[in-house]
Amino acid sequence: MAESTSPTVEADVPKVVGPTIPRWQLGEELTRLRRAANLTEADVADKLGCSESKIKKVEAGYVGTNRAELLVMLDMYGVTDEAARNDMIELQKRGKERGWWSKFGMVPQQFATFLSLESSATNIRVFEPLMVHGLLQTEDYTRAIVSTHLPNAPTEGVERQVQIRRARQERLFADPPQTWIILDEAVLHRRVGGTDVMRAQLTHILDTVKAAPWLTLQVVPYSHGSYPGELGAFTIFDFEEDIHSPVVYVEGQAGGLYLEREADLRRCSLAYNHITAAALSPPESAKLITALTRATG
């Protein structure tokens, strides 16, 4: 992660939902301070009586730390300014908070990170070539997708995923970021869950877009031919400048990957711009979905 200046925590800061962003902010600042003090991860681990691996995970934002450990690190790094120490303690507290999804029980850490980023972002840009994006899915569509991806999951496990998806939509729509979703036309033709489920899903997409001025939807038509989206789905999260730099999430069969390097961000933003240019305009995209809805039968 890129080095940052000392974070400032105000009472009236942009929204941060979940522990991921505060942990990342704290980790970035602890890394900067340790390097400025000419100390290694091993030096800190020896002082705290823990593994060097733990220090690396704290600095990477993968795990949080407790107040006592943080105070020891701040003393080691020569941080004496009371306001700066309080800022760091506030980040540590936020990094220990439980996300809204915790009421559904344990979720994979990678998914929890995704939910936290999605809930905290001010702008979200999505490209999805294979399925309707989660924020636009009906419950029946979600149920069909989860049942396919987790064929051995018990019924209650599938329903838990449906409930999480519904809660995710409700929370995001209550305080929505500017969201731009681009789908490949193939998404609209694949009859997930059968004809009735897919017809209802297409209708739901149209209704959602009409009711959400903060949401832009485009479709890349078959007629366009080859375009950068053929490399796969990805999501770009943008945040307030004093919260975090942009993050790109790329998902595949081997799991998800979070990209933060400037070169990766430039490449993904450029690809998204090209995908946007390849797509139909929002009105033309709506016309295509309307036509396919009528033809689904």
> Is there a single domain that holds both residue 29 and residue 146?
no
Are 144 and 280 in the same domain?
Answer: yes
**What percentage of the chain carries pLDDT values higher than 90?**
64
CATH code at position 52: 1.10.260.40
The count of structural domains within the chain is 2
Q: What is the pLDDT of residue 15?
A: 61
Pick the residue with more confidence: 99 or 29? Answer: 29
Say yes or no: 165 and 115 in one domain. yes
Q: Are both 202 and 276 inside the same structural domain?
A: yes
Boundaries of domain holding 63: 20-95
Question: Is residue 15 domain-resident?
Answer: no
* Domain closes at, from 95, 117, 152: 95
At 117, which CATH number?
A: 3.30.870
Question: What is residue 9's predicted lDDT score, i.e. its pLDDT?
Answer: 37
pLDDT number for residue 253: 78
Q: How far is CA 136 from the centre of its chain?
A: 15
Do residues 46 and 147 both lie within one domain? no
**Mean confidence (pLDDT) of the chain:** 89
Segment 241-267, tens digit of pLDDT: 878 889 999 988 777 899 989 999 999
Q: Quick one: pLDDT at residue 3? A: 34
Q: What is the pTM of this model?
A: 0.81
- CA distances (Å), 133 to each of 27, 38, 125, 178, in order? 31, 46, 11, 15
pLDDT of 29 above 80: yes
Tell whether 41 and 122 lie within a shared domain. no
Higher-pLDDT residue of 10, 185: 185
**Residue 112 shares a structural domain with residue 91:** no
Higher pLDDT, 244 or 18: 244
133 and 256 part of one domain: yes
Same domain, 153 and 288: yes
Position 232 in a domain: yes
Classified as helix, coil or strand, 255 is strand
Shared-domain flag, residues 220 and 257 = yes
Asked whether residue 231 is domain-assigned, the answer is yes
Percent of the chain topping pLDDT 70: 94
Asked if 133 and 277 sit in the same domain, the reply is yes
Query: Which pLDDT does position 94 carry in this prediction?
Result: 83
Contact 218, 280 (CB under 8 A): yes
What order do you get walking across the sheet with 178-184 strand by strand? 215-220, 178-184, 123-128, 234-238, 247-252, 255-259
Condensed to tens digits (0 to 9), the pLDDT of residues 124-143 reads: 999 999 999 999 999 999 99
pLDDT, tens digit, 9 for 90 and up, residues 78-94: 999 999 999 889 889 88
Pairwise CA distance, residues 169 & 26, whole Å: 29
**Is position 101 within any domain?**
no
